[in-house]
Structure 1
Amino acid sequence: MPQLSIGLDFGTSNTVLALAAGGDSKVVTFDHRGESLTGFISALCFWQQRVKGIQTARVEAGPWAVDEFLEGLDAHRFMQSFKSFAASATFRDTRILGAAYAFEDLLATFLKIVFRHARLETGGARLVVGRPVRFAGANPDAALAMRRYRDAFARAGLEGARFVYEPVAAAFHFARRLERDATVLVADFGGGTSDFSVMRFEKTTASRARALGHAGVGIAGDTFDHRIIDHVVSPRLGKGTSYRSFGKTLAIPVHYFANFARWNHLALMKSNGDLKELRELIRSATAPDRLAAFAELIEHDLGFPLYRAVSRAKTALSSAESADFAFRVGDVDLSATIARAQFEEWIADDLQRIRDTVSQALRAANVTQGGIERVFLTGGSSFVPAVRRIFSESFGEERLVSSDQFESIASGLALIGQSPDIGDWTAEEEG
């Protein structure tokens, strides 16, 4: 049994580290401006800074990357949720301040900074890393993603990492509560993907488990945020309105609003010509005040606080029948009241895809709904009432168990690292 094991949950939105030794686990905290954080935002910021008259390339990650993005005066490139490119064969590299960065370069850079801020020495420790059942993207290549993962970890000096399905790690963490043998469905809702695993746990002198079946879908918390953006924010910024050109009435091009897929994409609209075009459209727009608010949002880099406001409204809807979406900055006022019933209507198609994926996991495991004795829910979106209803209606409320929305996967990974039969838990067959 290793003296120390490290669990790394590299998420689309946030990354969590946990340590285990002697059968117990502890989540690593990061000290950022006097605040202790367990979630390290999965973001990078590159910039050039003049030091003693010489232009020097700099890079930061996590909340420090956000600080630089919001406060930095130098030219910068901000990247968030880059995990979504891991399984994309069409993504080869991106240019950052004149240099080409493949996915492996981005992840290796991120990992080095995470461990530096965590003040962790990895020598002699066993590193166990989470991976989704289904990677994000329209046509994800899991084998390609895993090759990129292994290469990135090696570049970061973290050779020998073992990879475990994220819901399996959550299940391991949950299994300590079981008092008898049980077949368990684990539902892990992340930022970019939702993963489901059916596990058979056997309480022997040492708890053992068998993975019976897995399934995943590229729908999760970020998708729900986007539905609020589409239905509440974008119309208040001119989506669906029109402008006059040569005597004709034309729709405002929708591609301007596609940049809301990621809040940091708004910053790119300053340099790619979109902001200039929007300002020109204001003159002939039928709703010029809305496009003017859109232009101000871009000009003053308001994407980050906007997305935080969206996330707060979504969270509030988990415990209330309606929530106020409050966003007022300068001349921009996008505030609105959102009813939970509206939100559930917007995500109805997403919910159906989640139902279908749960059924797929059961079929893969050759288990019926009646054969599931416990359902373990983890991740922020598991608290969305409409999501929880999928499981309560199928399995009964009495079988559902919820966990800490951020820490169970990392803790489970660290605990698996303490297991003498770690090979029984790893997902090495793909790639």
Structure 2
Amino acid sequence: MQDAIGLDFGTTNSVVARVRADGQPHLVDFAAPEETSAVFRSALCFWEEDGLAYEAGPWAIADYLEYPQGSRFLQSFKSVAASATFEHASVFDKRFRFEELGKLFLAKLSAHAGGALATPPSRVVVGRPVHYAGARPDEALARQRYDAMFAGFGAEIHYVYEPLGAAFSYAARLEDSATILVADFGGGTSDFSVVRVAPPGSPKRCTPLGHAGIGIAGDQFDSRIVDKLVLPILGFGGLYRSFDKQLEIPRGYFADFSDWSRLALMRNRRTLEELRKLQRSALDPEAIGRMIAIIEQEQGYRLYDSVGQLKRALSRDDAADFHFDGEDVRIDATVTRAEFEGWIAADLARMKATVDRALAQAGVDESGIDRVFLTGGTSLIPSVRALFTQRFGEDRIASGGELTSIANGLALIGQEEDVAAWAV
């Protein structure tokens, strides 16, 4: 038996499972301000206190909420892992590369694990997306950054597609052979794997047949909400004066604002100076002032929380209220589920096309899929689930462990004799 850890480093949340003496993976519980949890938010909060201090996970959120204007809150930073345009995050007077942020995050994750990660494992199996987030993701760069980030474990590091980890977890439920489609919806990416599962006791339980992924998931849905409800009152589509002309305000500011991994990074001297200059020439200077206020007052997490509450409510109800109170900016709106589904319709179509690619690579069609396993928080959105119920039928759909199945499966893969056979 290998002393293995399965680590699902997610865009929104991270989960760790460790194999114990009974040979089974067990979720690692992390301390939190209110209660322990197996889910550790993938976030960092920095503040100045005799130098630079920081926290991660739910502690980062608690520290931010206590002192938002004196903090720098970073979330969804996994989204820039494969981005060549991301060089560093400016935090007060320091600059951090991606791998440095990752090391800081892992240090706090380990510190809050109640000693469960104090002893180095022999193997660490880390999940990675089939397709990294970003317009032109650089996989080699992401691998280089991941290697540097996880080197501190002092163990064998193996990278496995995240939906394959979920497949191993789901296979433990099956008593017969089956061909399964795993759909893993995270914060930054949606990934799909077709896997052949052999009967229990077989030398090789899971055989991957095909994979496909796309950089569209929960964060993209969030950006659609921000685009519709928030950006219009911040000057999106507005004009500014340039000599004797009136020009549209550059859209790059709004693209960064609606991206959780970049919103906090807008709080830097250069960007704020550009926005103040833009405010002086804008036809609606108050709108640009509202954007500056949200950035300066570190209201990014509060906005994220309001958007998340709306998404969760629309997963239950046909309509829900959106409420954001950012001190100098207040937004109240009612959104119907039909409206939200219209906002994300193009994204859903691209997800469907990505499923087609996974099936084609595996050489199967809908009739060749015995089970569909949906995992990840975004799988709870009705229109996302409908992509699969309409195509495969409700009786073939399974779900559960939306936030924990990948880590469990990665730890199971860590028990394989030749774990490198699963690695990518």
TM score, norm. by length of structure 1:
0.87
The answer to which of 250-259 and 231-240 deviates more is: 250-259
- In the alignment, the residues of structure 2 paired with residue 246 and residue 143 of structure 1 have an alpha-carbon distance, to the nearest angstrom, of 45
Which residue does the alignment assign to 1:351?
Answer: 348
Does the 8 Å contact 1:264/1:304 carry over to 2?
no
Structure 1: runs of 5+ lacking an equivalent:
51-55
User: 1-side partners of 2:264 and 2:347: how far apart?
Assistant: 28
- CA, structure 1 residues 97+301, in 2 after alignment: closer, same or farther (shift >3 Å)? closer
Quick one: percent identity of the two aligned structures?
50
Q: Is 1:407 equivalent to 2:404 in the alignment?
A: yes
Aligned to 1:194: 190
Equivalent of 1:166 in 162, 166, 188: 162
Residue 15 (structure 2) pairs with residue 16 (structure 1): yes
Q: State the partner residue of 1:66.
A: 61
> C-alpha distance in 1, partners of 2:374/2:303?
28
Change (3 A) 1:171 1:319: same
- Worse overlay, 344-353 or 156-165: 156-165
Partner in structure 2 of residue 39 of structure 1:
39
Task: Return the alpha-carbon distance in structure 2 between the equivalents of residues 304 and 126 of structure 1.
Answer: 34
For 2:407, give the aligned amino acid.
Answer: A
Question: 2: distance between equivalents of 1:255 and 1:90?
Answer: 14
Matched letter for residue 49 of structure 1: E
Distance 1:409 1:244, change over 3 A: same
What's the secondary structure of 2:153's corresponding residue? coil
**Structure 2 matches for 1:316-395, cutoff 5 A?**
316-395=313-392
**For 2:269 and 2:138, how far apart are their aligned partners in 1?**
30
Q: Which amino acid aligns with 1:84?
A: S
Structure 1 pair 132/280, CA: closer, same or farther in 2 (3 Å)?
closer
Q: CA deviation at 1:68?
A: 4.2
Distance 2:361 2:278 in 1: 52
SS at match of 2:136: coil
Aligned twin of 2:201: 205
What SS is found at the alignment partner of 1:227?
helix
1:353 maps to a residue whose letter is R
Counterpart position of 2:179 = 183
C-alpha offsets along residues 309-358 of structure 1, whole Å, 9 cap, x if unaligned? 10110111112111111123445321101111111111111111111110
1:106 aligns with 2:105: no
Q: Note if contact 1:135-1:218 (Cα within 8 Å) is conserved in structure 2.
A: yes
Q: 1:224 is paired with a residue of what secondary structure?
A: helix
Q: CA deviation at 1:262?
A: 3.4
**Cα pair 2:127 2:162 within 8 Å, conserved:** yes
In structure 1, what is the equivalent of residue 27 of structure 2?
Answer: 27
Q: 1:254 aligns with which of 251, 254, 266?
A: 251
Deviation track 1:245-277 (CA, whole Å, cap 9, x = no partner) reads 777655444333233233475555454355566
**1:38-90 deviation line (CA, Å, top 9, x unaligned):** 2222223444432xxxxx34343223333444545897654322222222344
Deviates more, 1:313-322 or 1:233-242: 233-242
Residues 269 and 168 (structure 1), Cα distance of their counterparts in 2 relative to 1, 3 Å cut: closer
Report the residue type matching 2:49 in the other structure. Q
Question: 2: CA distance between counterparts of 1:351 and 1:358?
Answer: 11
Tell me which moved more, 362-371 or 121-130: 121-130
SS at match of 1:37: coil
Q: Deviations over 1:94-153 (max 9, x none)?
A: 555555543333322322221122132233443221111111122223233223322322
Q: Distance in 1 between matches of 2:167 and 2:411?
A: 13
**Structure 1 residue identity aligned to 2:16:** L
Q: How does 1:224-373 map to 2 (within 5 A)?
A: 224-242=221-239, 250-263=247-260, 265-272=262-269, 275=272, 290-373=287-370
Q: SS of the residue aligned with 1:111?
A: helix
Q: Distance in 1 between matches of 2:163 and 2:261?
A: 29
Higher mean displacement: 340-349 or 22-31? 22-31
Kindly state the Cα deviation for residue 204 of structure 1 after the two structures are TM-superposed: 4.0
Aligned 1:86-125 pairs, distance under 5 A: 86-94=81-89, 96=91, 101-118=96-113, 119=115, 120-125=117-122
**TM-score where L is the length of structure 2:** 0.89
For residues 309 and 71 of structure 2, what CA distance do their matches in structure 1 show?
A: 28
Query: Closer, same or farther in 2 for the Cα pair 1:84/1:395, shift >3 Å?
Result: same
> Unmatched 5+ residue regions in structure 2?
none
3-state SS, counterpart of residue 118 of structure 2: coil
Measured in 1, the distance between the counterparts of 2:333 and 2:234 equals: 13
Are the equivalent residues in 1 in contact too, given 2:125–2:414 (CA < 8 A)? yes
Partner Cα distance (1:99, 1:279) in 2: 23
Is residue 237–residue 290 contact of structure 1 (8 Å, CA) maintained in 2?
Answer: yes
Q: 1:91 to 1:40 in 2, by over 3 A?
A: same
The size of the alignment, in residue pairs, is 420
Give 3-state SS (helix, strand or coil) of 2:211's partner: strand
Determine which of 138, 141, 156 is the counterpart of 1:144.
141
Partner of 1:396: 393
Opposite residue 27 of structure 2, the aligned amino acid is V
Give 1:53's aligned residue. Answer: none
CA distance in 1, matches of 2:365, 2:209: 12
Question: Given that residues 122 and 156 in structure 2 are in contact (C-alpha distance below 8 angstroms), is that contact kept between their aligned partners in structure 1?
Answer: no
Secondary structure of the 1:163 match is strand
The answer to which of 257-266 and 227-236 deviates more is: 257-266
* Residues 148 and 302 (structure 1), Cα distance of their counterparts in 2 relative to 1, 3 Å cut: closer
